[in-house]
Amino acid sequence: MPQFSQLPNIADLTVGDIVATAEYHLTRDSLVRYAGASGDFNPIHYRDDFAIAVGLPGVLAHGMLTMGLAVQCAVDWAGDPSSVVDYQVRFTRPVLVDAVTGADVTVSAKVGALDTEANVARIDLTVTYDEQTVLGKAQIRVSLASVAA
């Protein structure tokens, strides 16, 4: 059974604190690997000609891949994936993955609200690609250690 570090203590947090940041570089290879793991072999995720034929500007990263990358830095900060009790996003823009340069996705995790009675923090995720937000209302709720922990 994996051992996780101690959860952050809710008493040490303030609304507005940045608790984690990360940058992820996606390549076409990343998309192929994700397609194999997820079973999502839609050609918009690896063929420019197909993506353009259906009206897209090019190959797009899988939405669920973007969503998974977005939450990872907050999960790493929390120290235990099972502490995440809720995760929600709205997809607002696609991440275009260029065949040569790939795409960089940046994530910032900030304390949006604290429920000290329940020991739960809402962490708001800002997820950007090409200086534009790609996930709207990206929020996770994390069960944290109490003051007495």
For residue 126, give the CATH number of its domain.
3.10.129.10
In a domain, 126, yes or no: yes
In a domain, 32, yes or no: no
pTM of structure: 0.89
For the stretch 10-39, pLDDT in tens is 999 999 999 999 999 999 999 999 999 999
Tokens 């899988």 identify what position? 62
The domain in which residue 92 lies consists of 10-26+64-143
In the chain, how many domains are there? 1
In a domain, 38, yes or no: no
In a domain, 128, yes or no: yes
* Tokens found for residue 35: 């397609």
In a domain, 87, yes or no: yes
What is the distance between the alpha carbons of residues 15 and 111, in angstroms, rounded to a whole number?
5
In a domain, 3, yes or no: no
For the stretch 60-117, pLDDT in tens is 999 999 999 999 999 999 999 999 999 999 999 999 999 999 999 999 999 999 999 9
Confidence of residue 145 (pLDDT cuts 50, 70, 90): confident
What is the distance between the alpha carbons of residues 116 and 113, in angstroms, rounded to a whole number?
10
